[in-house]
Amino acid sequence: MWAPLRFGDGRGSGSAGMAVGQREAARADLAARAGGVTPAAGELVRRISVLGATGSIGQSTLDLIAHHPGVFEVEALTANADAAGLAALAIRHKARMAVVADPQAYAALAAALSGTGIIAGAGQQALEAAASRPADCVVAAIVGAAGLVPTLAAVRQGRRVALANKECLVTAGHLFMREVAAAGAELLPVDSEHSAAFQAIGSSEAEAIERITLTASGGPFRDWDMARLSAATPEQALRHPNWSMGAKITIDSATLMNKGLELIEAFHLFPVAADRLDCVVHPQSIVHCLVAYRDGSVLAQMSSPDMRTPIALALSWPQRIDAPTRRLDLAVLGQLTFEPPDTARFPALAVAREALEAGGAAPAVLNAANEVAVMAFLEKRIGFLDIAATVADSLEAADSQGLLGECASLAGVLAIDTEARRLAGSLLKRR
């Protein structure tokens, strides 16, 4: 069976692709090593841990789990600081462990769980311990680069990792994929476009793929002119037309930075060079990705815009389980439309592509600066158009300080992330 998600190692940065011979070797080697990890045919993964359980993806995952009583068990759940919300989920889903990242939330969590037998924990080490507990699948659904270290802890245990937390791959793609390969972990995409690509690729040979096109909804401001965009408020940006998601990714969808992050994510997940990845705006969010082959065929995956479909696949692959989503009726929908993205109004997409092509630490700087800028926009400290401008300025400043070289270690990646946040913060203030 073709294992596209174990291909990520061995590629250079930028648009350099993996040589065919290397790909074959990686495939054979990794498929062999992953043998003990993938559930045997006919068997579902059972014990699930959810990092970021209180968020949008976390809750959708737990909703699916509750929809299949007796099939899944919950091992560990984590959250940032919402002790009451996490405790309620841990009790409802009979988790064995619950961890908050914020140590100050520990007392409330421990109190809420007292007498339940559920282990309570707090802080970064406890987060890593939760991610490392024995589980068949760890759903990585923390938002932002904060998810990198705990997700890597799950990877290092050789687990199946259902990856929603795209910032892991944006920040540390090469390193992350090397760790996946070294541990024989199994990486399954949860992001809907990447889940769609994974399905459309199936068992095809990497060499047969000509192009992968991710679709973008275009977000709430698809038709807005520059004057309206410059005055756009967080409330308006948070009103996504199709998807219900956490605040950060909803803003990323409005700027189209989300699609830029997803191009970088796709570059690491799939065996294609950067110049064979692109995106098209598809306002209905029904077609999630198109994979074009050398013979002219294009395979697409369609589903209602509901994350429970790709989450269900990541939990059950190579099988499929029921997901309680609205079924597609194309006759009712009537039409599906497509248009090119407008990088003049949505420059974040172009900035992200430049970071992908530059490689090295550029994607890590892009991500960190974007996290800082999105937070500043949500707090009404900067305007909507300032988000992409801050990210572009941060990349330029990092470049002029010689910070965009390759990061060989996790410590190096974390140091660049910290430095890029500091840079972006100082550039925000100057705007």
Task: Provide the Cα torsion 264, 268, 271, 273; round to 10°.
Answer: 40
Q: How far is the CB of 50 from ligand NAD (least distance, A)?
A: 8
* Closer CB to ligand NAD, 81 or 397, in the complex: 81
Residue nearest to ligand NAD (CB): 55
Q: List the 277-281 sheet strands across, edge first.
A: 277-281, 209-216, 287-293, 298-302
Find out whether 8 and 173 touch, Cβ atoms under 8 Å: yes
**Contact partner, 167, from ligand NAD, Mg ion, none, Cβ < 5-8 Å per class:** ligand NAD
* Closer CB to Mg ion, 121 or 363, in the complex: 363
Q: What are the helix (H) ranges across 184-246?
A: 192-201, 226-230, 234-237
- Site size for Mg ion, by CB under 5 A? 3
Residue 371 within binding range of Mg ion, rule CB under 5 A: no
**Contact partner, 281, from Mg ion, ligand NAD, none, Cβ < 5-8 Å per class:** none
CA geometry: angle 285, 287, 288, nearest 5 deg: 80
Q: How far is the CB of 57 from ligand NAD (least distance, A)?
A: 4
* Closer CB to ligand NAD, 149 or 365, in the complex: 149
* Closer CB to Mg ion, 61 or 192, in the complex: 192
Nearest to 189 by CA among 320, 410, 417, 6: 6
Looking at the DSSP bridge assignments, the partners of residue 186 are 160
Task: Provide the Cα torsion 12, 13, 17, 23; round to 10°.
Answer: 40
* Closer CB to ligand NAD, 56 or 215, in the complex: 56
Q: How far is the CB of 41 from Mg ion (least distance, A)?
A: 29
Tokens of 351: 């900035």
- Count of other CB atoms within 10 angstroms of residue 124: 13
Residue 306 within binding range of Mg ion, rule CB under 5 A: no
Listed ranges 15-23, 192-200, 221-229, 376-384: which one lies at the site for Mg ion (CB under 5 A): 192-200
Nearest to 166 by CA among 246, 85, 59, 49: 246
* Closer CB to ligand NAD, 166 or 345, in the complex: 166
Tokens of 265: 């994510």
Q: How far is the CB of 193 from Mg ion (least distance, A)?
A: 5
Q: How far is the CB of 228 from ligand NAD (least distance, A)?
A: 25
What is the DSSP track for 146-161? GGHHHHHHHHHTT-EE
Distance CA 262, CA 279 (A): 9
Find out whether 220 and 241 touch, Cβ atoms under 8 Å: yes
Q: How far is the CB of 208 from ligand NAD (least distance, A)?
A: 27
Distance CA 118, CA 76 (A): 9
* Closer CB to Mg ion, 217 or 316, in the complex: 217
Tokens of 203: 């068992």
Q: How far is the CB of 159 from ligand NAD (least distance, A)?
A: 18
* Residues found near ligand NAD in the complex (CB under 6 A): 52-58, 79-80, 82, 101, 141-143, 146, 164-167, 191, 243, 245-249, 307
Looking at the DSSP bridge assignments, the partners of residue 168 are none
* Closer CB to ligand NAD, 23 or 240, in the complex: 240
**Contact partner, 245, from Mg ion, ligand NAD, none, Cβ < 5-8 Å per class:** ligand NAD
Q: Give the residue, chosen from 191, 306, 386, 419, that forms a contact with Mg ion under the rule CB under 5 A.
A: 191
Find out whether 423 and 397 touch, Cβ atoms under 8 Å: yes
**Contact partner, 52, from Mg ion, ligand NAD, none, Cβ < 5-8 Å per class:** ligand NAD
**Contact partner, 304, from ligand NAD, Mg ion, none, Cβ < 5-8 Å per class:** none
Q: How far is the CB of 144 from ligand NAD (least distance, A)?
A: 6
Q: How far is the CB of 262 from Mg ion (least distance, A)?
A: 5
Listed ranges 16-24, 187-195, 268-276, 403-411: which one lies at the site for Mg ion (CB under 5 A): 187-195
Residue 77 backbone dihedrals phi, psi, to 5 degrees? -125, 145
* Closer CB to ligand NAD, 114 or 124, in the complex: 124
Q: How far is the CB of 356 from Mg ion (least distance, A)?
A: 16
* Closer CB to ligand NAD, 27 or 421, in the complex: 421
Q: For residue 335, give Cα distances in angstroms to 34, 277, 285, 304, 305.
A: 42, 25, 12, 14, 15
- Judged by the rule CB under 5 A, the positions of this chain that interact with Mg ion are 191-193
